[in-house]
Amino acid sequence: MDRSARAFWLRSPGRGELRDAQLPEPAEGEVLVRTLFSGVSRGTETLVFRGGVPESQHAAMRAPFQEGDFPGPVKYGYLNVGLVEEGPSELVGRTVFCLYPHQTRYVVPVSAVTPVPETVPASRAVLAGTVETAVNALWDAAPLIGDRITVVGAGMVGASVAALLARYPAARVQLVDANPARADLAQALGVDFALPADAAGDRDLVVHASATEAGLSRALELLAPEGTVLELSWYGDRKVSLPLGEAFHSRRLVIRSSQVGTVSPARSFRRTYADRLAISLELLADPAFDALITGECAFEDLPEAMADLVAGNTTALCHLVRYNTDTGAAPL
């Protein structure tokens, strides 16, 4: 079998390229996967592409199968769906999700892939890593039935959180974003929408995912007394100022961080990383998540597409990367 592959690399901040690679023979306990789709996690990957990972976070920000180092050259990414071509008989021919960068084929341990349920199209399954972040966030936040909840920031992560919150019994969920076009996204997910100035107040919980100083400040303003902001944004090398001298103390407000790198303490004693990812893939059976995939390119065009995402020329939430395959069209 052909052992050649091609991979997307960040050569230096702002400059991407495709490189040839030669794959090893899969050993026992490994699989060879042919990529069908990968997804660009816009917030994190554009930050990496522009060279915005602080030196202090180089180790913490490493992706599971990253090659190279920040700021570059580096092969980075973690939303990959492919077809198992070689490996254990029970996996050959199965569609799987893997936290692997953008590459046409790759060899990884069996433990690194998760079968995609038959109810989930391969193209939608690229969202598994982002929905996993949302699952972990809600384990951290532990919203209650009937809560008044706002999600500030309708990017990939914020929209995924809103999609899951839409399922909570009697919860009143509002998605807030500065872009009025995100109203259509909110409608597709089954939640209310508001611009920041019009957002409802007196909220029990606000999930912040806009990665902006203004968004975090607004999130605090929307809280009811003793309410909590769950911070999902990652700012990289940017500094953030907050109005902690206003009503922050008198109203006993809380800011709490959440990060997908560890399983939430609320579930870590009885859920593994594999459990969390499997749950995320099950949740993706809901076609409402298709509303998050709003851009697409061929793998060969990824260097230019990534530059356009960073420059703001493309405003996709999740940018889907489609791969040409040897055996016909990839399944949707």
198-223 pLDDT tens trace: 999 999 999 999 999 999 999 999 99
**In a domain? residue 275:** no
Which domain-ending residue is among 257, 272, 297? 257
Same domain for 310 and 213: no
Determine contact, residues 86/92, Cβ cutoff 8 Å.
yes
Tokens matching residue 231: 């911070």
pLDDT surpassing 90 at residue 261: no
Burial of 39: CB neighbours in 10 Å, binned 0-12, 13-18, 19+: buried
CATH of the domain at 178: 3.40.50.720
Give the predicted TM-score (pTM) of the model.
0.90
Q: How high is the pLDDT of residue 238?
A: 81
Judgement on whether residues 167 and 80 belong to the same structural domain of the protein: no
Overall domain count for the chain: 2
> Could you tell me if 191 and 295 lie in one domain?
no
Q: Pick from 120, 137, 100, 130: which is nearest to 23 by CA?
A: 100
Domain holding 244, by residue range, is: 133-257
Same-domain pairing of 237 and 302? no
- The verdict on 243 and 143 lying in the same domain is yes
Residues 19 and 101 in one domain: yes
- Note the pLDDT tens digit of each residue in 104-153: 999 999 999 999 999 999 999 999 999 999 999 999 999 999 999 999 99
Are both 137 and 253 inside the same structural domain?
yes
Contact partners, residue 57, CB within 8 Å, separation at least 6: 236
